[in-house]
Amino acid sequence: MTLPKKATVFIVDDDELIRDSLEFLAKSVGLAVKTFSSAQAFLDSELPNTPCCLVSDIRMPGLSGLDLQDELVKRGITIPVIFITGHGTVPISVRAMKAGAVNFLQKPFEDQDLLDSIHHSIEQDRLSKIEQHKIKDIERRIKSLSLREHEILIFVAAGQLNKQIAFELGMSENTVKTHRFRIMRKMEVKTLADLVRATEKANEKT
């Protein structure tokens, strides 16, 4: 379960010069860059499974940077957002940060500030993507269990002994043991602790 290393920076700005200069800046530190001239164009694009972050202007014709941020939250897309603006005001920056923006930079800014923000965002996104990947994996394994196995998993995760489970479900202790062995194999875990942790992770998500 390895993720592609190449991280992508998405840049949304209506000013071509700014867009182009930011692209150069990001490329100069080895990042992949995709630029968009409007918020809508970005929303219409396909997002990769690789770690990424969004650098967006606030004041733009059509959807503003803040509108874009709202729309992403609404669609359940979790991508770190960095805002850059020529005339930021305190209320706007507060609103942006409350909605989960990573940073809010005033033009002209120190390139290192932006690059640090980008790196930080990408790392954050990478971790969150790994986490998501793990959860999806566990969910896939849980789905591969039979109905009976799933039933027994719930008892096992709740800390019940084989004897108790056998009594509860009206089956022999040996049958429970056989099911448990199969569950461990299907869930790709070696110890009971790993099994409990995996089921908890899956539960957290739902």
> Residues interacting with other proteins, by CB under 8 A?
15, 17-18, 20-22, 24-25, 27-29, 86-87, 107-109, 111
Instruction: Please say whether the beta carbons of 56 and 128 come within 8 A.
Output: no
Q: State the Cα–Cα distance between residues 161 and 192, nearest whole angstrom.
A: 12
* CA 15 vs CA 19, 53, 81, 101, 156: distances in Å: 6, 19, 18, 21, 59
CB closer to other proteins out of 33 and 47: 33
Distance of closest approach, residue 70 Cβ to other proteins, in angstroms: 24
Query: Which residue has 């005339």 as its token pair?
Result: 87
Distance of closest approach, residue 49 Cβ to other proteins, in angstroms: 27
CB closer to other proteins out of 57 and 183: 57
Q: State the Cα–Cα distance between residues 73 and 193, nearest whole angstrom.
A: 35
Distance of closest approach, residue 27 Cβ to other proteins, in angstroms: 7
CB closer to other proteins out of 2 and 24: 24
Distance of closest approach, residue 55 Cβ to other proteins, in angstroms: 11
Distance of closest approach, residue 124 Cβ to other proteins, in angstroms: 23
Burial of 172 (0-12, 13-18, 19+ CB in 10 A): exposed
Instruction: Please say whether the beta carbons of 59 and 85 come within 8 A.
Output: yes
- For 88-123, give one letter per residue: b (16+ CB within 10 A) or e: beeebbebbeeeebbbbbeeeeeeeebbebbeebbe
Q: Can you name the residues that pair with 85 across neighbouring β-strands?
A: 106
CB closer to other proteins out of 107 and 185: 107
CB closer to other proteins out of 20 and 131: 20
CB closer to other proteins out of 108 and 159: 108
Distance of closest approach, residue 81 Cβ to other proteins, in angstroms: 19
